[in-house]
């Protein structure tokens, strides 16, 4: 029979995102109900290797549901990509008598969790990344807040774009995924949306198409032209200059950057973090381990970690159509 889980650890890893604190809070509060002890690992896998552990109880997680960032700190840790680093992390957990580890992060962090599982550590992953690129889940914690932050910023840029009758190209985050760009493109009513999933790599052709579109919208009397560019395409300043040179219309580039990663989590992200954090601990309490928690058709579910990491997702075809994408 599986050994009962009495002592669990939790860490945050990879890029920070709004809702990480809310997820830690849900883990700690649910564990307290199940009479499990919780150890917080500071600074992600780096802190795991170092044994940078703190004890967490309900008081430690009060007044954090509304805060962005992560009070456990996060890190990227190259040492953990090596077998030696992974063994050192597993040894720290074993010597601290920890029965299972909850990893709060994105795909990379879950690869790390999978390596720990192979070394005999029981793991659960909670997807938190603004990029929304964890394949097994429809939504990751942090995405909703980041989209809303970017959308507000783009509304403001649009005011200036209209006043000065300029073209604006705005780069949003997302790494290799275009979810933030696609959502903002639709929610901000952008004229063009450039996402890596639909980009064939032909930059001159892309610039020709956007420039023709700019000239067309000017001819129809539009005083602004907003282009949302995904981080995965990049080259935002170069694209702006090329459009200006081709069309003769003043074109400004804005890279929103890290402001999308901070801030107080939205209601949706707080809710998702609370549900996923509680679900993760309940799975452990019932002896279900080595899973990634996910949202599937509006329900919280757990997928076996190896299966979850082999899944693939692409943006909804209907969304492509609604966005009127031109990058084909």
DSSP secondary structure letters along 229-286: EETTT--HHHHHHHHHHHH-S-EEEEE-GGGGT-SPPPHHHHHHHHHHHHHHHHHHHT
**Which amino acids are annotated catalytic?**
131
Contact 199, 235 (CB under 8 A): no
Output the smallest distance, CB 234 to ligand ATP, in A.
Answer: 16
Residue with tokens 């994408």: 325
Output the smallest distance, CB 158 to ligand ATP, in A.
Answer: 28
| 13 belongs to the binding site for ligand ATP (CB under 6 A) | yes
Output the smallest distance, CB 255 to ligand ATP, in A.
Answer: 17
13 or 211: CB nearest ligand ATP: 13
* 105, containing H or E segment: strand 100-105
CB atoms within 10 A of CB 258: 10
Site string for ligand ATP, 87-126 (x = CB under 6 A): ------------------xxxxx-xx--x-----------
User: Stretches 9-17, 89-97, 208-216, 221-229: which one binds ligand ATP (CB under 6 A)?
Assistant: 9-17
Site string for ligand ATP, 42-81 (x = CB under 6 A): ---x------------------------------xx--xx
278 — phi, psi (to 5°)?
Answer: -65, -40
- Please select the residue that binds ligand ATP; options are 5, 9, 10, 14, rule is CB under 6 A: 14
259 or 322: CB nearest ligand ATP: 259
77 or 253: CB nearest ligand ATP: 77
SS3 assignment, position 321? helix
| 218 belongs to the binding site for ligand ATP (CB under 6 A) | no
How far CA 32 is from CA of 110, 123, 172, 202, 291, in Å, comes to 25, 19, 39, 55, 21
Q: Say how far apart CA 88 and CA 81 lie, in whole Å.
A: 12
Output the smallest distance, CB 155 to ligand ATP, in A.
Answer: 25
175 — phi, psi (to 5°)?
Answer: 50, -125
What is the binding site for ligand ATP (CB under 6 A)?
A: 13-15, 45, 76-77, 80-81, 105-109, 111-112, 115, 129, 131
């Amino acid at each position: 029979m599986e050994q009962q889980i009495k002592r669990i650890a939790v860490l945050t890893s990879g890029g920070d995102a709004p809702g990480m604190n809310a997820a830690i809070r849900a883990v700690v509060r649910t564990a307290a109900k199940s009479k499990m002890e919780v150890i917080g690992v500071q600074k992600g896998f780096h802190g795991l290797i170092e044994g940078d552990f703190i004890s967490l109880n309900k008081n430690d997680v009060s007044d954090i549901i509304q805060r962005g960032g992560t009070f456990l700190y996060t890190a990227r840790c190259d040492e953990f990509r090596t077998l030696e680093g992974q063994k050192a992390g597993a040894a720290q957990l074993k010597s601290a008598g920890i029965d299972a580890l909850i990893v709060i992060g994105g795909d990379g962090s879950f690869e790390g969790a999978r390596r720990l599982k192979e070394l005999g550590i029981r793991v659960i992953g909670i997807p938190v990344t603004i990029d929304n690129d964890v394949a097994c889940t429809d939504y990751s914690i942090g995405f909703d807040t980041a989209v809303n932050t970017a959308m507000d910023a783009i509304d403001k840029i649009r005011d200036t774009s209209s006043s000065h009758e300029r073209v604006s190209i705005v780069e949003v985050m997302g790494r290799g995924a275009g979810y933030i760009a696609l959502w903002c493109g639709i929610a901000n009513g952008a004229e063009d949306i450039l996402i890596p999933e639909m980009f064939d790599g032909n930059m001159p052709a892309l610039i020709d198409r956007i420039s023709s579109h700019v000239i067309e919208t000017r001819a129809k009397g539009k005083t602004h032209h907003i282009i949302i560019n995904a981080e995965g395409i990049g080259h935002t300043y170069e694209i702006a200059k090329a459009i200006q040179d081709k069309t003769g219309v003043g074109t400004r580039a804005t890279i929103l950057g890290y402001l999308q990663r901070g801030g107080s989590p939205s209601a949706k992200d707080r809710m998702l973090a609370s549900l996923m954090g509680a679900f993760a601990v309940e799975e452990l309490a019932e002896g279900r381990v080595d899973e990634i928690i996910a949202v599937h058709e509006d329900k919280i579910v757990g997928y076996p970690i190896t299966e979850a990491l082999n899944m693939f997702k692409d943006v909804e075809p209907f969304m492509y159509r609604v966005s009127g994408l031109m990058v084909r």
